Structure 1
């Protein structure tokens, strides 16, 4: 069946957050942040919903990929110059983060601060999050989302940036023209993230 890519609406937030929660359940960074699997399954949809609702939707750069009306994947982008969350956005997200993370909230802060310190200064589109439901992984949902936004990057002559939290995903992003520019290792025995940059075509 055809995969449709469309901008997400506020009414899509809960659905896309559940999809992203399932997509990132086995992600090394998320596993480090919330080690308990049952708690992580509840925490991640809350985190992704808060991020989408209070930051990403305002940028008009959230896309969902669906087939027959069922959402299979989602991507959260920031346009050039807009990747930093405002103080108001952070305040609005805080209750959901505290509920989701509890005493492990400090770990999330460590990861966030590490990424912020090493974020590129040059204006770019930032792919903060992309994920497919495990049930449809490998069937083209992620590829459809990548192509949609990267086509726009190329039309605007804008570079793109992401951090891959899985080494096994690095070759996937290389296929789209990204190149590894650095590695970030989370302190206190945390995992490694791969910084990747894509020049416009």
Structure 2
């Protein structure tokens, strides 16, 4: 298997892999409640976020099989660059609107809830990580996490993520993350768990 930085040409395939990985994710199901529309909407949203934010920070990585098939990815933001700039938000707005359609307000509520609860101490932020069914169980998630966490340790930098599934908490704990709190999406939305990792 291989882990490497994402390029602009990788974005469509990466976005489809992430959309497949998040098809049963509680937050994504809240934002995209229609099963038939969810895959396309999520792929468009991941593409917009990668293209207009994560790619510029140098923290977007993908996992691929020996034949070059993209089966997963991790979207990291470097210290003090986790929040999208106003300029990039404006540039990405048409693509985000196309992705969310009538659920734009719900997407804004999710973003606001996550931003309001975000730690202020400088850290590497793992916004998204996932593998498609073709990569699941193959160690790709572990490889993606270790790729960036080894850099965090070398830099002496903490790392932070939000787990949208309670069942995934033990997995992240194996990499040194600890639960520090909960985030509840308003208006009956799901709960996420804040997880922090000090460098080793």
* TM-score bin (small chain): over 0.9
State the distance in 2 between where 1:101 and 1:8 align. 24
What's the offset of the Cα at 1:130?
Answer: 0.4
Q: Which runs of 4+ in 1 moved over 6 A?
A: none
Measured in 1, the distance between the counterparts of 2:33 and 2:21 equals 16
| CA–CA distance in structure 2, aligned partners of residues 187 and 84 of structure 1 | 20
- 1:110-121 counterparts in 2 under 5 A? 110-121=109-120
Size of the aligned set, in residue pairs, is 199
| Map of 1:86 onto structure 2 | 85
Alignment-derived partner of residue 124 in structure 2: 125
Counterpart of 1:29 (choices 4, 27, 30) is: 27
In the alignment, the residues of structure 1 paired with residue 140 and residue 88 of structure 2 have an alpha-carbon distance, to the nearest angstrom, of 29
Counterpart Cα distance in 1 of 2:14 and 2:126: 16
TM-score, with structure 1 as normaliser: 0.97
Residue 9 (structure 1) aligns with: 7
Counterpart for residue 172 of structure 1? 171
Take 2:79 and 2:94, find their aligned partners in 1: how far apart are those partners?
28
After superposition, the CA RMSD in angstroms is 0.7
Unaligned runs of 5+ in 2: none
Q: Distance in 1 between matches of 2:29 and 2:82?
A: 24
SS of 1:104's equivalent?
helix
Q: Distance in 2 between matches of 1:122 and 1:182?
A: 15
- Deviation track 1:100-155 (CA, whole Å, cap 9, x = no partner) reads 11111111110100000010000000000001002321210000000000000000
TM-score normalised by the chain length of structure 2: 0.98
